[in-house]
Amino acid sequence: MKSNLELAESFLSHQNFIMAREMYEKALRDDAEAEGLFGLALCAYQEGDTVTCLKSLNELLEKQPGHAGAFNLSGMIAADNGDLEGAEKLFVSAIRCNPEMVEAQRNYGEILVAKEDYENGVKVLDTILKKHPDDIPTILTMAELSLEAGMTKETLLYLNQVMDLEPENEAALELVEKIERTLAEV
């Protein structure tokens, strides 16, 4: 039989936030405190409930000051609210807590790009791809950056890489269509 935490994670992965939240709350009562708080924060974030999300994250960081996921999610909220400096610091904290957390590294790279520190942002993303060449979100980010820079050939190389890994990837297909429309207009 699955634990409440396992059920919650399953519901969350299927975007059933109401049931996920209920199961995370039960997990909290069953002594899976850190995981339950983080799960509640994820549910609240997905539902757009920033207040509940931050409350859960703050409580989690009080109990587990080195929780990389909590710093990363806090950074995402800061970025969503336009606080790029705060987001950068939070992503750096997440990486310090867990240097192997690819999502935090990617978010850090994207924040550097958003702050117009393109060189360092691309270096961070490039480093991720050297260690994790199959990381589709990072490949897509590089494709988007290449497209913005007018580097169509590089964009297509990144998109081909994604399509090799995941032929039905919607984001990659949309970018290919965008390039085709642009080329047709020329």
Which residues, 6 or more positions from 30, have their beta carbon under 8 angstroms from its beta carbon? 3, 4, 5, 36
- Convert the pLDDT of each residue in 106-157 to its tens digit: 999 999 999 999 999 999 999 999 999 999 999 999 999 999 998 989 999 9
At position 79, the amino acid (one-letter code) is A
Position 159: which residue type? L
Per the structure block, which two tokens stand in for 184? 């047709």
3-state DSSP assignment of residue 168? coil
pTM of the model as a whole = 0.82
Low-confidence ranges of the chain (pLDDT < 50): none
